[in-house]
Amino acid sequence: MDIKVRKTIGQVLFILLAFYLDGLMKWAFLNNMNRGVIVILPQIMLMAIVMLTMRIDNRRQLMTYGIVFGLIYDSYYYGIVGLYTILLPLIMVGIDHFKFLLVKNNMGYELSIYFLSLTFLQSGIYLLERLLQQTNTSVFDFITYTLGPTLLWNVVVFFILYIPLANLSEWLVKYRRDSK
């Protein structure tokens, strides 16, 4: 099989695995249903997406990933289509657009980009859901009980998983031209 196709399949599997991990993490470890003021939302798929976006240069491919996985995420987890479907491609194009500013990939850059995109994503979801009256949480409650803990947890996890994830996504994207 063509090396390019194989790498693409690898990328898709990588994102898909992260997609399932989101739901399972929430279910198995962060499942505060009885007493829960603080809400932590694992966003491992966004981690994978940010990692890949930093390394893939083909914008059309990025848009396709964003829309397809956004649709699946919305339909499977949220039951409302239009949150991730729009926000995920926007984030990916945004990262792609400002990627040239970054001289080289290192942990600090990627962490801050992940932090920014997570904040953008969660705030966007909050605004859209608030607009459509899916929630009546106030802005302050959202920042204190959802956004804050979510950012903290995910940044810590990003910190722990950075090296394996970065190496894996590097390997999934880069291939030698002559072996094509």
Partner 1 sequence: MQKFFSNKKLIILMVLIIVTFGLLAVTVNIRDKKSTPPVIQQVGNDVVSVVGGVFAYPTNAVKNATSEFSDLYSTYSENKRLKARIGELAQNQAKLEVVQDENQKLKQELKLNGTLTDYSTVNASVLSRSPSSWQSYLTINRGQTSGIKKNMPVMSGKGLIGRIVEVDKISSKVELISTDNELNDKFASEIIGSNNKSITGVVSRYDSASGDLVMENVNSTKDIKKGQSVITSGLGGLTPRGLYIGKVYGIKKDNYGMTNSVYITPAAELRNFTVVTVIKSSVSGEK
Report d(CA 150, CA 143) in Å as an integer.
10
Spell out, one character per residue from 64 to 103, where the chain touches partner 1: x when CB under 8 A holds, - when not.
-------xx--xxxxxxxxx-xx---x-------------
Number of residues that bind partner 1 (CB under 8 A): 45
Distances from the Cα of 139 to the Cα of 3, 33, 39, 87, 155, angstroms: 48, 22, 14, 19, 22
CB-side exposure of 90: number of CA atoms within 13 Å?
13
Return the DSSP state at 75.
I
Report d(CA 123, CA 118) in Å as an integer.
8
Among 61, 137, 153, 170, binds partner 1 (CB under 8 A): 137
Interaction of residue 138 with partner 1, rule CB under 8 A: no
Between 43 and 53, CB nearer to partner 1: 43
Q: Which residues bind partner 1 (CB under 8 A)?
A: 16, 20-28, 31-37, 39, 41-43, 71-72, 75-83, 85-86, 90, 125, 128-129, 132, 134-137, 142, 146
